[in-house]
Structure formats: structure tokens, C-alpha cells
Amino acid sequence: MARDQNVAASDADELPAYLQCVPFAREASGIRIFGDAHTWWDQADGRYARGNTPKPGAVMAFEPTERMPLGHVAAVAQVLDSRTVLLDHANWSPINGRRGQIERGVRAIDVSPGNDWSEVRVWYHPLQDLGTTAWPVHGFIYGQGGMQRVPDRRQSAPPAPVQVAVSKTPSRDFLDNFSDLGRAQPRKQAVQRIAAVRPVKPQQQPQQRDPLDAVLARYE
């Protein structure tokens, strides 16, 4: 019950854009059926297994009624017991005054006398409880063993390589760029002047005689 009560966002600005039940069920289950919800049960014949037992990943196909002429489809998220499942579906309850909203993990119970899931009551957000209507159900469409899920975004083929024509004869502009390579370029030689320096002989200082030698010379 607590999980059911928390499926809607409290702020209207955070709600997703309007979404129909068919594209949401196709995306959630991987069952590649297109067209209105009331056509899914017949379209699945021969393509997918069908039955009256809920299984995770299966699609619950509702019958069209006067109040719901296009029918409805919902993905089974979890099986709680023989009469209770949790559904993921879109465009069921109006939330904050807006239809086309996504609800996840909401309860649906089997109210059929024979427990064959031919009639169900589904969680209705404005009531914060199960709705009072018993909706007729065709049964369940099973995706296991059927067509594989096709990715939403198909990878495009890589672009073909661009062929560039190359001329074997060099262009005039190409040759002009190399025309100066064969010409000798003069070199600038730096001339260094070496000043010749003539060695200067040191002047000889006159030797001074010892006065004692002069005195001794007198007695020689």
C-alpha cells in the first residue's frame, strides 16, 4: 500500500510529458506490437504466447469498454500472490490534474470469480486506493521467446570514405615554393681583427753599489 501511495510526484513541474499507454508498455516489456491497445491481444496471436497467468515482464491486455473504447495495456512489474500484481503503466490516473502520466509499482487485483484474471481493479491515484470499477481483461501477452527487443535508436552506417583525386604532376605553386633551393646564398663571414701587440722589454734599473764595497776597494 505504501508503495502505491508514493508513485506520483508531489510537484506538478516534475511530472513527465503526456504519454500514452501503448508506447510505454512496448518499451517496458520489449513486445514489439503497434497500434491501439484494444488490438494487442489479437495481434499477439501467433507471434507471442498468451495466457491467464501473470508473469513479470508480461503485458496485461484490457478489453475495450464504453468508458475505455481504445482498451489499455500495462506491464507486469511484480507478482505478489495469485490475485495481486504490481503494474507499470501510463495514462491511467490523472495526477495533479494531468493525464498521460507514468505510474510504477501500482497494485492491481484479480476480482474474477474463477481467479482467471478476467476482471481486475487497479490503483487509482485520485482515490489513493484501488478503483471501484472491475475492468475486463483479455489476459497476458508474454514476451519471453518472442521477438527480440529492437533498440529505440538505431546506429547509422558510417559515412563512406571521401575519394580525393591526386595529380601526379606537381602544380606551378608547388614548384615555385622550391625554386630558391638551388641558388647559392652568400655567406657573411665575420672578420676578426687581431691587434699585434709588441712585447715591451722591461727597463733595467742601475744597480746600486754597496758603500762597504767602495771602502774595501781602497785597501785592495
d(CA 153, CA 179): 56
Question: Is 28 in contact with 88 (CB distance < 8 Å)?
Answer: yes
Average pLDDT value for the chain? 77
Beta-carbon contacts of 89 under 8 Å, excluding residues fewer than 6 positions away, are 21, 24, 25, 72, 73, 74, 75, 102, 103, 106
pLDDT of residue 171: 64
Given a cut of 80, whether residue 156 has pLDDT beyond it is no
d(CA 104, CA 24): 11
Give the global pTM.
0.60
Given a cut of 80, whether residue 137 has pLDDT beyond it is yes
pLDDT of residue 160: 52
At 95-130, the pLDDT tens digits run 988 999 999 999 999 999 999 999 999 999 999 999
More confident: 56 or 161:
56
* SS3 state at 105: strand
Pick the most confident of 125-139, 162-176, 199-213: 125-139
d(CA 136, CA 117): 9
Q: Which domains does the chain possess?
A: 2-142 (3.90.1720.10)
| 50: β partners | 141
